[in-house]
């Protein structure tokens, strides 16, 4: 808790408030310092594993030879099989605090998901978003933290993550699934934050067929989802939402007049 001055009733009074924590984590891979991740300080192994998985630096858990996180010094030391690309070109994303990626694809570089899938009902999406809201304990206490969850086709929550960066929430989920042997292909992703290009590209990389957010997607995210065969839902509030790509994957009738 942090001592603060609270303005109330026309005057300042002494009080206390929770404050969101930011933790800089230096990521070293095969003795190369490749990036500093700014994140919440919990479960950093999941964050590191997920970041490396969605960047394409590892393909299986067996690719890790060492995965060590030192919270005291803020350093993650990782040894992986094979070599990293000699040149890594970082891309600053539109994530909170400016996220970073090395593999953001351009137009025409997304492989469309070909797996046959069952249609998803709106009820499943609403159910999963409702469970996300119930789990968002840090936001309830002091705000400033994003959350995300993945669930099955019936909308039952499987994994959940919170972080100061919305891009980090998915990396955490991807890392936990990766280390626990859970295949994310065919799972549903819901998030509290904006869906931008890096989030859509990461979801496409692991085979997620549907993304839903309470807020908005960007135009690049829509394009990536269109190319990848991902149903993208925004402004999911109350009993309404907007569908920006692949509505045919939802088990719902389409008003012929709107067509």
Task: Tell me the average pLDDT across 52-63.
Answer: 92
Structure tokens, 191? 């998030």
Residue 50 Cα distances to 2, 60, 61, 165, angstroms:
32, 11, 11, 14
Q: Are 126 and 239 found together in one domain?
A: yes
pLDDT for res 56:
86
Residue 245 covered by a domain = yes
Chain segment 202-236, per-residue pLDDT in tens:
999 999 999 999 999 999 899 999 999 999 999 99
pLDDT value of residue 231: 95
What pLDDT shows up at residue 170?
93
Looking at the structure, tell me whether residues 135 and 243 fall in a common domain: yes
Same domain? 38 vs 140: no
Q: Residue 175 has which token pair?
A: 């890392």
Q: Are both 83 and 148 inside the same structural domain?
A: no
Q: The domain that contains 81 carries what CATH number?
A: 3.10.20.10
**Residue span of the structural domain in which 88 resides:** 23-101
* 137 and 236 part of one domain: yes
Please report whether residue 198 resides in a domain.
yes
Task: Report pLDDT for 108.
Answer: 44
Q: How large is the greatest C-alpha to C-alpha distance in the chain, in angstroms? A: 63
Q: Tell whether 172 and 72 lie within a shared domain.
A: no
Report if residue 3 sits inside a domain.
Answer: no
To which H or E segment does residue 169 belong? helix 166-180
Indicate yes or no: pTM above 0.85. no
pLDDT, tens only, 111-133 = 566 556 789 999 999 999 999 99
DSSP assignment string, 178-224 = HHHT---TT-EEEESS-B-HHHHHHHHHTT--EEEESS-B-HHHHHH
In a domain, 207, yes or no: yes
Rounded to the nearest 10°, the torsion over CA 199, 201, 204, 208 is 0
d(CA 161, CA 10): 39
Quote the number of domains for the chain.
2
Last residue in a domain, options 72, 101, 130: 101
Question: CATH number, domain at 186?
Answer: 3.40.140.10
């Amino acid at each position: 808790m942090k001592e603060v001055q609270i303005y109330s009733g026309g005057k300042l009074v002494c009080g206390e408030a929770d404050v969101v924590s930011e933790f800089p984590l230096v990521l070293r891979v095969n003795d190369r310092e490749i990036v500093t991740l700014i994140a919440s300080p919990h479960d950093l192994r999941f964050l590191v594993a997920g970041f490396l998985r969605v960047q394409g630096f590892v393909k299986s858990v067996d690719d890790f030879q060492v995965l060590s996180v030192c919270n005291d010094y803020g350093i993650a030391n990782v040894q992986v099989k094979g070599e990293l690309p000699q040149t890594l070109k970082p891309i600053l994303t539109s994530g909170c605090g400016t996220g970073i990626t090395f593999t953001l694809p351009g137009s025409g570089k997304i492989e469309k998901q070909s797996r046959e899938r069952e249609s998803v009902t709106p009820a499943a999406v609403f159910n999963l978003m409702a469970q996300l809201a119930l789990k968002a304990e840090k936001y309830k206490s002091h705000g400033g933290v994003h959350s995300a969850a993945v669930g099955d086709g019936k909308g039952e929550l499987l994994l959940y993550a919170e972080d100061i960066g919305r891009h980090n929430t998915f990396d955490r989920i991807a890392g936990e699934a990766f280390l626990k042997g859970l295949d994310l292909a065919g799972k549903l992703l819901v998030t509290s934050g904006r869906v931008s290009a890096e989030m859509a590209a990461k979801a496409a990389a692991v085979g997620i067929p549907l993304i839903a957010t309470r807020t908005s997607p960007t135009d690049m995210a829509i394009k990536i989802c269109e190319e990848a065969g991902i149903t993208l839902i925004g402004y999911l509030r109350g009993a309404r939402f907007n569908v920006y790509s692949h509505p045919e994957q939802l088990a719902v009738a389409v008003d012929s007049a709107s067509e």
